[in-house]
Amino acid sequence: MTVSQFSGAALTAEQWRLVEALSSSLTPEHAYWISGYFAGIGSALLHKGTTAAQSPDTRISTAVVQAEPVAARSLTILHISETGNSTELAIRLAALAIEQGLNPTLVDIADYKVRKLKEEQDLLIITSTHGEGDPPQSGMEFFELIESRKAPALPELRYAILALGDMSYEHFCGAGKRLDERFEELGAKRLQPRIDCDVDYEELAAAWSSNILALLTAEKRAATSSAASQLETTGSTQQADNSAYGKRNPFPATVIDNIVLSGRGSTRETHHIEISLADSALTYEPGDALGIVANNDPVMVEALLTTLDMNPGTSLTVKGQVTTLFEALSKLFEITTATLRFLDHWGELTGTTDIFTAMDNVERAAFLHEHHIIDIIRAFPLKGLDPQRFIDGLRPLQPRLYSISSSLAICPDEAHITVAPVRYKLHGEIRSGVASSHLADRANADSILPVYIQSNPYFRLPPNGEPIIMIGAGTGVAPYRAFMQEREANGGGRSWLFFGERNFRVDFLYQTEWQDWLKNSILTKMDVAFSRDNAEKTYVQHRIHEHAHDVYAWLEEGAHIYICGDALRLAPDVHNTLVTVIEEQASVQREEAEEYLRNLQRDGRYQRDVY
Amino acid sequence: MADTLPPTDRSCDISQPLERLSPDEALKAGSEYLRGTIALGLLDRITSAVPGDDIKLMKFHGIYQQDDRDVRDERRRQKLEPAFQFMIRVRLPGGICTTERWLKISELACAHGNETLRMTTRQTFQFHWVLKHNIVPVIRGLHEVLLDTVAACGDDSRGVMATVNPQFPALQAELAALAKTVSDHVIPKTRGYHEIWYGEERIASSEPEEPFYGRTYMPRKFKIGFVIPPNNDIDIYAQDLGYIAIAGKDGKIAGFNIAIGGGMGRTDKVPHTYPRTASVIGFITPDRLISVTEAVMGVQRDYGNRADRSRARFKYTIDDKGLDWIKLAIEDRAGLLEPARPYHFTSNADIYGWVESDDGYHHFTLFVENGRLNRDTLDKIARIAHVHKGHFRLTPNQNLMIANVATADKPKIDALLVGSGLIAFNEHSVLRLNSMACVAFPTCGLAMADSERYLPTLITKIEGILTRYNLQDEPITLRMTGCPNGCSRPFIAEIGLTGRAPGKYNLYLGGGFHGQRLNRLYRENIGEAAILEALDEVLRHYATERLPDEHFGDFTIRAGIIREVTEGRFSND
């Protein structure tokens, strides 16, 4: 059934045209993602007692209805995503482009054929950055080629890059910067300068999108000398998105339970938190993440106010909203980790800019690593500062994502997450991760937690019950619990879990549940590695290598393979072990083994959720 | 001679097909002589437990699966399996331990046993808190000093006891050697133990693997012990088969009186279960020891109840068939028994401190409260073991004897005892020195209440009562268990306490001072306040109304406080 055969929703012809144009550019994953996205909008609108048809924001000028898309330069929107932010922005951009009469092709880098690059005319790229200025895993192959001598000259290409990143990292937006430089070297022309976004990317990204679309539509109008009127749109997707529970409008969920999974004597403190989604109409798939809008630790807020000698009740205006300083520091701003921006800001305020500019990049990164905002303020104190000026140096507090460890099929109206709070000592004080400590210390049963669902179409159970090999360490085991619950309810093929942690006795997360699934053959095999039980440290990759023959046999039989957990050590170590396994078992060269894995990745059979 | 044995009911014994017997019989029969799937279960990394059937089979190898019961419920909520671990019991006939073995055992306890070691009421060591992957290292470590754990548990002949009494050193040494000989003779012979724990290959053989036991072993555990009157330290009346040494005029062992059918275990609210003191049925000369042992065990093997495990101990076989019939059955196999010789017991307690025996050696008995050795104590004793030229003996009261110290070496040992502070272990009230508790919580799976962890504080409170009535120097035996199975032999104590629920105990009174008479239930399922109130009342009477030299247990009967138990089967009346 094609989209146009479906007529039950009584859409206008223009609405249909938009839907059809969008759907023709979608991969199956995107289509699926969007179905959930619109379901969310629908339920939210119903919730508000209104419907899409009555919403003035979605009225679209009839003038465009007759307008046929004009053959012009081709437009491709390419997204290179790790957590789904780039993808979400790209989808939104594509929808806007279609609304404005453009004809974009939306492509995930994982599905992109690099040889097509020579044929591209206008290319919009949204990329996030991973690790040491690297692209996300899905973009590795693309970067390898484009940065190699094999890269084609691109004199015909026009491009624009939106780079997502996190300012607290040394290689902020590194992937975007690398791509931008390289495209320039290859002779491509910028449509507009690259924009580098910090974690609060929404406004910048929206501006980048509308600027670029304005440019392209203006060009097209000029080219076709068509006087088709502008769409009477005021960002309908944006509006609709706000009315659903989502990142900008999180659902105030009730915490059902908060259990410490780590047994007595553990060096860990891993929490299992059950959250009620009842009455939210929020739904998710196994593999999705739960966005948590956390607050800062009140103790930290107090400490900051004391150090700054500021009155918590001071009235402030933040993005047009009046609030108190205490509220702003609790809920609106990141107040622990300092960014380069804050360092510059504080340097200016205190006249100590010289100290920071004297540092090279590495030294500055090291300084930021060792100094939180409060440490910088203590080291370079300033009395009588206007709170508004202080706030100006801060960046918005960002939600954090946690892989959901439950399935709606077994836990209707609930989402479970598995959280290991980040705690460490800095300057003689215990410091904690914002969200993880909120969850561990203050998300008690019956407390309210603002949440939303972050779809992750790149971490999905196989469509037809194909065998799965799940590899995870620590809290990385979370999505596999969701997978097992899903298969317990809906069936599926063979499954094999590799799990690693520190000590068998106290750190075997969800031990009795895996045992039950093994007993009922919902889980076929399980192998564990506990690194601190013996003098010799054993990790999951050692177990994978021990079972090389079977792992390879499963892959040959069509198994999908998953890695979840630590991005710095687990993911590369496991990846390298998998290459070795294939190399040994298939008796091929290392390059061929790597190619084997790349093919798996291209086919969606090798999926990673690493952080 | 078989013709002379009157017919008897055989509907519950080994003559029946397995399906008519308890499931444990089929399990044993199908276990390939105790191998089961033990070797496989050890490799399973997903659980720290072993499969259900292997739990029972491993007992025959001296290994009990247990879990930390303090955290059982907490871990269930944490989605963690119980904190499984294993108790490993050493086979140590007669409680004799060389210094080399002591040091190895101490080292293994520190490496794999959570730095704790338990001396037991059957004169051996128990490692606790051993994780599954550490069982093999422990058993191989023991093997290095030629020790094993065969039949330390299970339906077989358990560790053979022998008196540690240094009063008659030559007799004691002979008895200890006999205990070893008998133990070696009656333990299971399966090669499964060597294959599983030492990693040896299975060798095909046409010889029967268990020439004595066969595929189904004994109906239940079987306990053997040797004693020399007048000290009944091993509690001869609590043994399935007890040998009471009778000295000849030449000072050597002339032979043994045979006592059969002792046993402690009972089940609350199940009247057909009860403790029983052993019955003396005759006398044999030492040369008949092995053949009589085989005959007695053979009768129990062939006629014991295998349909109902709660009635499977030898004591019930005796009461079901009648003592006379059992004696006939034994004589049918081993020849006629001579009439029992006179003997006399005075006590079942240890003698603390230094004792000199007539061979010129010195022996120091150290009180170890409830037999529990922690890291600190182990380290202190290890320093003694490094210089001690004799050996150690584990007493049946869970204490430690440093045995066979030459006069010249005594000052050195003394200095170590004093210097380490170990000597202070003996500075306790007479009541505490005559007390025993089993392990119970947190490791024992059978426990219903605390025992080892609770008795010391309860004793402190009872000491207050004794002092008030000026009874602090009166030896009274006090024994506690966490369940009614009777590991610390509570049913022959003057004051017995057995756990019913956390903080609740049955209180028994009227046991014989030297273990010759069972006690009887006095108060049921009571807490500490009620225990102290009841004891205060009875001890107050005892202080004022007792006859000269009258023991507390005897007094409670004479004073009509408790009715005497004349035979085990009447103890629930």
User: What total of structural domains would you count in chain A?
Assistant: 4
Give B 132-151 residues with CB within 8 A of chain A: 133
The predicted pLDDT at position B269 comes to 84
- The answer to whether residues A223 and A279 belong to one domain is no
- The secondary structure of A476-504 as a DSSP string is GGHHHHHHHHHHHHH--S-EEEEEEES-H
- The answer to whether residues A414 and A533 belong to one domain is no
How many angstroms away from the CA of A523 is the closest CA of chain B?
12
Which of B408-419 are b and which e, b meaning 16 or more Cβ less than 10 Å from the residue's Cβ? ebbeebeebbee
Sequence-ordered list of residues with C-beta below 8 angstroms from that of A116, at least 6 positions apart, any chain: none
Residues of A in Cβ contact (< 8 Å) with B47: 515
Bridge partners for B162 per DSSP: B226
Residue A239 within a domain: no
Residues of B in Cβ contact (< 8 Å) with A531: none
- Grade residue A17 by pLDDT with cuts at 50, 70 and 90: low
Q: How far is CA B427 from the centre of its chain?
A: 26
The predicted pLDDT at position A238 comes to 32
- The answer to whether residues A61 and A126 belong to one domain is yes
**pLDDT > 70? residue A195:** yes
- What are the distances in angstroms from CA A186 to CA A123, A145, A190, B492? 14, 12, 12, 97
Residue A409, domain CATH: 2.40.30.10
Predicted structure pTM score: 0.81
Residue A241 within a domain: no
The predicted pLDDT at position A36 comes to 52
* Segment holding B479, helix H or strand E: strand B478-481
- The secondary structure of B533-573 as a DSSP string is HHHHHHHHHHHHHPPTT--HHHHHHHTTSS----SGGGTT-
Helix count and strand count (H, E) for chain B: 17, 20
With CB atoms and an 8 Å threshold, state whether A515 touches B131: no
- Grade residue A353 by pLDDT with cuts at 50, 70 and 90: confident
Per-residue pLDDT tens for B347-396?
999 999 999 999 999 999 999 999 999 999 999 999 999 999 999 999 99
- The secondary structure of A181-246 as a DSSP string is HHHHHTT-EESS--EEE-S--HHHHHHHHHHHHHHHHHHHHHHHT--PPPP--S-HHHHHHHHSSB
- What are the distances in angstroms from CA A531 to CA A266, A540, B314? 13, 9, 50
Residue A136, domain CATH: 3.40.50.360
Q: How far is CA B43 from the centre of its chain?
A: 32
Helix (H, G, I), strand (E, B) or coil at B200: coil
Do residues B507 and B496 lie in contact, with contact meaning Cβ atoms separated by under 8 Å? yes
Per-residue pLDDT tens for B177-230?
999 999 999 999 999 999 999 999 998 888 999 999 999 999 999 999 999 999
- What are the distances in angstroms from CA A268 to CA A146, A242, A561, B79, B462? 42, 38, 27, 15, 44
* Segment holding B100, helix H or strand E: helix B99-112
The predicted pLDDT at position B316 comes to 97
Q: How far apart are CA B149 and CA B60, in angstroms?
A: 9
Residues of B in Cβ contact (< 8 Å) with A512: 76, 79-81
How many angstroms away from the CA of B76 is the closest CA of chain A?
8
- The answer to whether residues A80 and A106 belong to one domain is yes
B444 is catalytic: yes
Residue A229 within a domain: yes
- The answer to whether residues A133 and A261 belong to one domain is no
Neighbours of A546 (CB within 10 A): 13
Residue A528: which of B46, B71, B74 has the nearest Cβ? B46
Residue A513: which of B48, B74, B79 has the nearest Cβ? B79
Which two three-digit tokens encode residue B486?
């009777």
Nearest chain B residue to A257 by CA distance is B77
The predicted pLDDT at position A111 comes to 80
End of a domain among A183, A201, A234? Answer: A234
* Segment holding B127, helix H or strand E: strand B125-130
How many angstroms away from the CA of A514 is the closest CA of chain B?
9
**pLDDT > 90? residue A203:** no
- Grade residue A301 by pLDDT with cuts at 50, 70 and 90: very high
DSSP A328: I
- What are the distances in angstroms from CA B305 to CA B9, B180, B331? 10, 28, 21
Contact pairs from chain A to chain B, CB under 8 Å: 46
Is B444 annotated as a binding-site member?
Answer: yes
Do residues A607 and A458 lie in contact, with contact meaning Cβ atoms separated by under 8 Å? yes
Cis omega (within 30 of 0) for bond into B442 = yes
Residues of A in Cβ contact (< 8 Å) with B75: 263
Which two three-digit tokens encode residue A64?
């465009």
Residue A230 within a domain: yes
B12 is catalytic: no
Residue A530 within a domain: yes
Tell me which residue has tokens 């192959």. A141
With CB atoms and an 8 Å threshold, state whether B76 touches A505: no
Q: Which domain holds residue A472?
A: 468-610
Q: How far apart are CA A324 and CA A333, in angstroms?
A: 12
Do residues A177 and A133 lie in contact, with contact meaning Cβ atoms separated by under 8 Å? yes
- The answer to whether residues A53 and A183 belong to one domain is yes
Over residues A75-95, mean pLDDT: 89
Q: Give the residue, A256 or A110, on which the prediction is more confident.
A: A256
Calculate what percentage of chain A has a pLDDT beyond 90. Answer: 61
- The answer to whether residues A80 and A159 belong to one domain is yes
Give the pairing of strands B362-366 and B400-405: antiparallel
Q: Which of B372, B438, B489, B517 is catalytic?
A: B438
DSSP A505: H
End of a domain among A183, A205, A234? Answer: A234
With CB atoms and an 8 Å threshold, state whether B78 touches A262: yes
Do residues A394 and A349 lie in contact, with contact meaning Cβ atoms separated by under 8 Å? no
Q: How far apart are CA B519 and CA B444, in angstroms?
A: 25
The predicted pLDDT at position A113 comes to 80
Residues of A in Cβ contact (< 8 Å) with B48: 504-505
Residue A528, domain CATH: 3.40.50.80
- Grade residue A394 by pLDDT with cuts at 50, 70 and 90: very high
With CB atoms and an 8 Å threshold, state whether A509 touches B77: no
Q: Give the residue, B269 or A472, on which the prediction is more confident.
A: A472
Residue A72 within a domain: yes
With CB atoms and an 8 Å threshold, state whether B79 touches A504: no
Residue A459 within a domain: no
Give the pairing of strands A158-164 and A195-197: parallel
- Grade residue A253 by pLDDT with cuts at 50, 70 and 90: very high
Do residues A250 and A262 lie in contact, with contact meaning Cβ atoms separated by under 8 Å? no
Give the best residue of B69, B80, B81 to mutate against chain A (max A CB count within 10 A): B80
- The answer to whether residues A574 and A475 belong to one domain is yes
Do residues A244 and A41 lie in contact, with contact meaning Cβ atoms separated by under 8 Å? yes
- Grade residue A335 by pLDDT with cuts at 50, 70 and 90: very high
B410 is catalytic: no
- The answer to whether residues A81 and A181 belong to one domain is yes
Residue A242 within a domain: no
Residue B45: which of A506, A510, A528 has the nearest Cβ? A528
Per-residue pLDDT tens for A124-149?
999 999 878 889 878 888 888 888 88
The predicted pLDDT at position A31 comes to 63
With CB atoms and an 8 Å threshold, state whether A272 touches B79: yes
- The answer to whether residues A489 and A385 belong to one domain is no
B78/A contact by beta carbon, under 8 A: yes
Give ipTM to 2 decimals: 0.88
The predicted pLDDT at position A32 comes to 55
Sequence-ordered list of residues with C-beta below 8 angstroms from that of A61, at least 6 positions apart, any chain: A229, A230, A231, A232
Q: Which of B91, B301, B487, B569 is catalytic?
A: B487
Q: Which residues of chain B have pLDDT under 50?
A: 1
**Range in A345-354, A372-381, A469-478, A514-523 the model is least confident about:** A345-354
> Length of chain B in residues, anyone?
573
**pLDDT > 70? residue A243:** no
End of a domain among A343, A363, A391? Answer: A391
Residues of A in Cβ contact (< 8 Å) with B74: 263-264
The predicted pLDDT at position A58 comes to 30
Domains of chain B, earliest start first: 2-334 (3.30.413.10), 353-426 (3.90.480.10), 431-570 (3.30.413.10)
Residues of A with CB under 8 A from a CB of B: 259-264, 272, 504-506, 508-515, 518, 526-528, 533
- The secondary structure of A180-196 as a DSSP string is HHHHHHTT-EESS--EE
Give the best residue of A498, A504, A517, A536 to mutate against chain B (max B CB count within 10 A): A504
- The answer to whether residues A270 and A158 belong to one domain is no
Do residues A571 and A565 lie in contact, with contact meaning Cβ atoms separated by under 8 Å? yes
With CB atoms and an 8 Å threshold, state whether B80 touches A515: no
DSSP A329: I
Per-residue pLDDT tens for A47-58?
444 333 333 333
B438 is catalytic: yes
Which two three-digit tokens encode residue A196?
């580098």
Neighbours of A153 (CB within 10 A): 11
- The answer to whether residues A416 and A521 belong to one domain is no
Nearest chain A residue to B75 by CA distance is A263
With CB atoms and an 8 Å threshold, state whether A264 touches B74: yes
